[in-house]
Structure 1
Amino acid sequence: MSPTPRVQVLGPFRQRSFRFQWPADLATSWAFEMETLILGWYVLTETGSVVWLTSFAALQFGGTLISPMFGVVGDRLGHRRLLVGMRAIYAALAAVMATLALTGTLGIAAVFALALLSGLVRPSDIGMRNALIGATMPAPYLTGAMGIERTSADTARIVGALTGTALVAWLGVGHAYLVVVGLYATSLLLMLGVEDARPSRAAAGGQPIGSVWFDLKDGVSYVRGTPPLLAAMCLAFFANLVAYPLTGGLLPHVARDVYGLDQTGLGRLAASFATGALLGSIFLGARGGQLYAARTMLAAALAWFALLLAFAVVRSPVAGMAILFLIGTVQSFCMVPMSVLLMRVSRPGFRGRVMGLRMLAVYGLPLGLLASGPLVAWIGFAGTVALYAGSGLLVTLAIALGWRDHLWPKDAPANARHSHTDGQPR
């Protein structure tokens, strides 16, 4: 008998670890979003250049190249311990930024330097969160937990978008950053109450003290040899390459140069996307267990790129906000089932490495951002969106056809309603 929607929504909170982890992740996500918008607007107003804006946004994802190593460390030492260390780094860097702003010594060079340092760590945060949930959450509640976890990022885009830009306009960068520091400190304290589910040495790959490079190679081989995982990784890379830059790093340009909006308008655009994403995540938290993960992921990806094509041609801020709302909704229906697929198909001892490699796919985002700046200057925003979204549609169709035997049948492991990995490893 399947759990009722009420049980699916509240079930994850029966786990003490999740009751601490979710608010900790929520505070971190709020701080991430506030930082991104505060500094993105600062860079755009100080330089007046969309190329500098996209370069700044790309710096925040430089650490995707070393995300697999974070996965190895998480599998060896425990994901909670790793997350505690990562969030201590965020708090320290935010404190430096606040100090520079309050003393009047903040400049573009300092913003780029601190963004580079933070960007070495931040891209791995979401992957390690999901790996920790996969290790501590019973199978019947996994989809619900992933949906609830996704709301931490979705609400952050709403709260961060509306409060981050408003705080800067009201208080200035320095005092706004004190709020960011407080959020990181809160997250760090909450993480101390999370269970540290550390896999056994045997589950972690069979090498008690072996080289981390052996562990990483083992993880790469495991993903390459598991078709549903490889397909999901490819789709994740292309979504980051051609979808997220358009509604993320380029959004200040859209607000100011396409729609003629100010900081408040930028916040409303970001909040429109985030509200749709939040509603999608809430639905998935309540009823997501009834969906086929791989099928839902593919259908939502196709709808996502089709909506981006519509976003390319609208020139009304109201219409743009409506389309961003729909885009936010369908991207949740793509990314949450993708996370569920990765956790259900992966063997327990490989979850950290699988999620580390999943975050490596985020490297498509800085590549897409860096390319989008010159493209916008060359062919305009509409042309850039059409090029990116059209490419995304073609690639998604190729993935669906190339791995159809592993992604489309209802009885395929990628569409299973329950985890295949909670007993003995396969």
Structure 2
Amino acid sequence: MQSDHATQSKPLQVGWRERLSLLRVADFRKIWLAGGLYGTVRWLDMLAVGVFTYEVTNSPLAVAFMVFLRLLPLILMGTVIGALAERFNRRRMLLGGLIFLSVVCAVLALLAFSGRITLWHVGLGALVNGTLFSADFSVRRMLLGEVAGVTRLGAAMGLDSATNNATRMAGPLIGGLVYQAIGLEGTYLVGFLLAGLAALLIARLTIDTSIPKARVSSLLEDIVEGFRYIRSNRVVTSVLVITVIMNLFAFPYLGMVPVIGKDVLGLSPSLIGVLAAADGCGAFFGALIVAVFAQSEYFRRIFLVGSTVVLLAVLVFSLSPMFGLSISVLLIGGLGLAGFGTMQTTLIFVEVPAAVRGRVLGVLTVCIGTMPIGMLAVGYLANWLGTAHAISLMSVCGLVAISVVMLRWREIR
């Protein structure tokens, strides 16, 4: 396994001009832009649904439950989708998901315009959005890696991460402004349009995503083989463990931003959108730096340091009583998020042979899908201790867990 890693890592030492030459590849641009459009839908929907749910229920737990529904498909379907991506046409899988999401957004917009939308409708929409996120992470990123090739892999994932983080800015800002000006129906209408545009881009791909030969093993056997490989590679294992830690203890704060913004900082929906966009702003610029300058010998260190910075930023955010301080610390946390998010997928591509890469990416999706557990935990703790104290406790637990990983899997340092 180590020889495979060595042969894949060495070619990554390329100049910034060759890294950015990816932007001249038509298929890369289409996959990249489709990811940006879908990412905007995902983040604006998360903000709008959070604000709507809190207005209707006045319950942090209900807000957390909506995020739980959004991320539940990752843990239930991530491994299966990753294995299916090695068996079926990936372009068609992604295209079908985007078309379905666009239709669902249109139906929800009509329900909201007519005044008949209820929380269960919103929850169903969150569930559909989460199902597509499972496919986006495994299927679309596999397509990105195939188009980029090994030598430009770090740049491809850096640019994709930068775009995703740009949507973390644009999505909440658009969601907050549209929600305040029009209402929930406006956010679903925007989602319908953006998902439709993303589907058009994927439909125009020219890359050959057909499967060269039929697989003789069963789907279950493929999944088991993927887990066996993970156990044999300590770097991959540590990446997956840290991913679980971050999604359990760090990222659940995202669903609580509307609550903190309204109850602690006294913000309007549009300013809550600005607050929710702050970490995305920092992550956007951080990911661009990673895309242009990061060399492969620093990939593991960037991943570990980035994870730690995010947890520290979340801790300080939970203790902040001021809007300015809250935005500042989330900007810094965004820089750490860039290191974590970019290297998370890059390390999987570098370490894992192509034959099992889809399955390992599927397991990575499942690890990301543990966030609903953290969301429910922070929701219950918020009802018990208060939202700010709940986030503080979760982030401290995450820092302790990261320290244990550093001692247990020294290869990631």
Same fold, TM-score > 0.5, yes or no? yes
After TM superposition, give the deviation of residue 240 of structure 1 in Å: 0.5
Determine the C-alpha separation between the residues in 1 that align with 2:145 and 2:406: 26
Instruction: Tell me if structure 2 keeps the 8 A contact 1:295–1:407.
Output: yes
> Residue in 2 aligned with 1:299?
305
Q: Decide which moves more: 302-311 or 28-37.
A: 302-311
| Structure 2 residue matching 1:218: 3-state secondary structure | helix
Determine if the alignment matches structure 1 residue 373 to structure 2 residue 371.
no
User: 1:64-86 deviations in whole A, cap 9, x for unaligned?
Assistant: 12111101110111322221121
Question: Percent sequence identity over matched residues?
Answer: 25
Counterparts of 2:304 and 2:126, CA distance in 1: 33
Q: Which residue among 225, 250, 255 is the counterpart of 1:249?
A: 255
Within the alignment, does 1:237 sit opposite 2:247 as a pair? no
Q: Secondary structure at the match of 1:75?
A: coil
Q: Distance in 1 between matches of 2:15 and 2:148?
A: 18
Q: What is the alpha-carbon distance in structure 1 between the residues aligned to residue 233 and residue 210 of structure 2? A: 24
**Equivalent residue number for residue 214 of structure 1:** 221
Who is 1:407 aligned against?
412
Q: Which whole-Å CA distance do the structure 2 matches of 1:342 and 1:48 have between them?
A: 41
**Is the 8 Å Cα contact of residues 94 and 177 (structure 1) preserved in structure 2?**
yes
**Contact 2:89–2:211 at 8 Å: present in 1 too?**
yes
The residue identity in structure 1 corresponding to 2:233 is T
Q: Distance in 2 between matches of 1:228 and 1:72?
A: 21
Q: Which residue of 1 aligns with 2:284?
A: 278
Q: Could you say if the C-alpha distance between residues 355 and 106 of structure 1 is closer, same or farther in structure 2, counting changes exceeding 3 Å?
A: same
TM-score, structure 2 as length reference: 0.92
Q: Give the conservation status (yes or no) of the 8 Å contact 2:239–2:344.
A: yes
Counterpart mapping for 1:43-54 below 5 A: 43-54=53-64
Counterparts of 1:242 and 1:291 in 2: how far apart (Å)? 28
The counterpart of 1:18, out of the listed 9, 25, 28, is 28
Correspondence for 1:417: none
Matches within 5 A, 1:23-422: 23-64=33-74, 65-194=76-205, 195-198=207-210, 200-201=212-213, 208-246=215-253, 248-289=254-295, 292-404=298-410, 406-408=411-413
Change (3 A) 1:251 1:307: same
- Distance in 2 (alpha carbons) for counterparts of 1:50 and 1:363: 20
Q: CA deviation at 1:114?
A: 2.7
CA apart distance, 1:291 = 5.3
Name the CA distance, whole Å, in 2 between partners of 1:186 and 1:311.
36
* Deviation string, structure 1 residues 295-329 (Cα, Å, up to 9, x no partner): 21112222222222222221101100000111111
- The CA RMSD measured in Å over matched residues stands at 1.7
| Distance (whole Å) between structure 2 residues aligned to residue 407 and residue 47 of structure 1 | 43
8 Å contact kept, 1:81–1:196: no
Is contact 2:53-2:62 (8 Å) kept?
yes
Question: Deviations for 1:197-234, whole angstroms, at most 9, x for unmatched residues?
Answer: 45644xxxxx7243111111111111122211111011
Instruction: Tell me what 1:416 maps to.
Output: none
Per-residue Cα deviation, 1:38-80 (whole angstroms, up to 9, x for no partner): 1111111111111111111110011012111101110111322
Task: Indicate if the aligned counterparts of 2:40 and 2:167 stay in contact, CA closer than 8 A.
Answer: yes
Change (3 A) 1:167 1:291: farther
The answer on whether the counterparts of 1:90 and 1:118 sit within 8 Å (CA) in structure 2 is: yes
Distance, in Å, in 2 between the alignment partners of 1:119 and 1:26 is 16
* Structure 1 Cα separation of the partners of residues 151 and 341 of structure 2: 19
Q: CA 1:224–1:275 in structure 2 vs 1: closer, same or farther (change >3 Å)? A: same
Q: Which residue of 1 aligns with 2:7?
A: none
TM-superposition CA deviations, 1:359-399 (whole Å, max 9, x none):
10022210001111110121223322222111111211211
More helix by share: 2
Q: Distance in 2 between matches of 1:382 and 1:166?
A: 25
Question: In 2, distance between residues paired with 1:249 and 1:40?
Answer: 7
Q: Distance in 2 between matches of 1:44 and 1:170?
A: 18
- Give the letter for the 2:66 counterpart: F
Give the CA deviation at 1:286. 0.9
Against the structure 1 CA distance between its residues 196 and 351, is the aligned structure 2 distance closer, same or farther, given a 3 Å change threshold? Answer: farther
User: Could you tell me which amino acid in structure 2 is paired with residue 242 of structure 1?
Assistant: F
**In 1, Cα distance between the equivalents of 2:388 and 2:180?**
30
Which residue in 1 is equivalent to 2:5?
none
Structure 2, unaligned runs of 5 or more: 1-10
TM-score (structure 1 length as normaliser): 0.90
Alignment check: 8 A CA contact 1:44 1:53 kept: yes
- Which has the higher mean CA deviation after the structures are superposed, 78-87 or 34-43? 78-87
Are the equivalent residues in 2 in contact too, given 1:135–1:348 (CA < 8 A)? Answer: no
- 1:176 Cα deviation (Å)? 3.2
**Higher mean Cα deviation, 219-228 or 184-193?**
219-228
Matched residue type, 1:83: L
Kept after mapping to 1: 8 A contact 2:259/2:387: no
SS at the partner of 1:56? helix
